[in-house]
Amino acid sequence: MYARRIDLHTHSSASDGTDSPAALARKAAACGLAAFALTDHDCTDGLAEAAAEAARLSLKFVPGVEIAVRRGERELHILGLFLPMSSRTLEKSLAAIRALRDTRNQAVLDRLAALGMPLDPEDVRRRAGGKAVGRPHIAAALVAAGCVAAGRDAFIRFLGRGCPAYVPRSLPAPEEGITLLRRESPVVSLAHPFLSPTMTRSELDGILAEFRPCGLTALEAYHSDHGPEQTNICLELARKHGLSVTGGSDYHGENKKDVALGTGRGNVNVPLSLLDDLERRHCF
Ligand code: AMP
Ligand code: ZN
Ligand code: FE
Ligand code: FE
């Protein structure tokens, strides 16, 4: 008998994933997961639908969200897990974050227009489907307009950092972002610290020393973009800083074809016991 897996980091069509929240729950059940978290970017709109479908399938569901913060030059991502199903304060904070997203998206569209690629903002919004609109949706609009062959090319040529239509997003400071999640959720986890190839053990050590007093309670050790060495550094630093450990695939459906729900790139295997540890440690 193999240990059952969980996945505490996934995205639905409420942000930049391609599966509806209900379809995601069905896929989670079909691939044998014991539990999964929905952690859409800046948006909790998918939680109710995912929770209802998970309940129907007797699958444990963890309501979550992923936000970004800026620390110096770095954009870091933070997961709030075990959120209440609805919270007016959190919704207000997320709406403010999304408004900054919208301002940035318009600046990107202005640059693309200046480069000879005018896109209709309404078309981009429609492609997003939900409230959290971002570069993947602009990339899809560029593909549809015939400006690039694939979404990846849109990032390489126009939308990626340092490219002609790149505009940085205004992001909350770490303390602000951590605080707004911590008010609502017992588990606030620094997501995929090694997604950036320039992250080092010592920089991460410093980040955790700074974030822990702000209310960070966990570190995402298992992730599609972490190799065994990076996962081990995370496990070691989580222990050092008294943080819990979380993990997930960061599944985005067709928008990240090489990342599978539950298993990532074949390198993610988060045991159900991790969920028990979180529940015991944070008493909920
Ligand atoms: P945004 O939140 O609007 O800044 O867009 C960030 C999202 O764009 C990420 O969550 C990824 O899904 C996607 N993304 C970022 N960089 C790339 C890239 N180089 N190629 C493809 N997708 C990317
Ligand atoms: Zn995403
Ligand atoms: Fe992320
Ligand atoms: Fe994510």
pLDDT in tens, 17-68: 999 999 999 999 999 999 999 999 999 999 999 999 999 999 999 999 999 9
Q: Is 144 inside any structural domain?
A: no
- Sheet-wide strand order for 35-38: 244-248, 218-223, 187-190, 74-81, 60-71, 35-38, 5-7, 270-271
| pLDDT, averaged across the chain | 96
Atom 6 of ligand 1: nearest residue by CA position: 135
Is 236's pLDDT higher than 70?
yes
- Beta strands 35-38 and 74-81: pairing type? unpaired
Q: Does the residue 20 lie in any domain? A: yes
- What the block records as the tokens of 54 is 């998970």
Residue 272 within any structural domain of the chain:
yes
- Number of compact structural domains in the chain: 1
Residue 35 forms part of a structural domain: yes
* Predicted TM-score (pTM) of this structure: 0.95
Q: Domain span at residue 251?
A: 5-90+188-282
Average pLDDT over residues 139-160: 96
CATH of the domain at 198: 3.20.20.140
Residues with CB under 6 A from ligand 1: 16, 41, 134-136, 152, 155, 160, 169, 252
pLDDT for residue 1 is more than 50: no
**Residue 134 domain flag:** no
Reported as a pLDDT band with limits 50, 70 and 90, residue 272 is very high
Mean pLDDT of 202-209: 98
Within-domain flag for 96: no
Rounded CA separation 124/107 (Å)? 13
Q: Does residue 284 carry a pLDDT above 90?
A: no
Residue 38 lies in a domain: yes
Q: Looking at the domain assignment, is residue 137 inside a domain?
A: no
Q: What's the whole-number mean pLDDT along residues 254-282?
A: 94
Q: Which atom of ligand 1 is nearest to the CA of 101?
A: 3
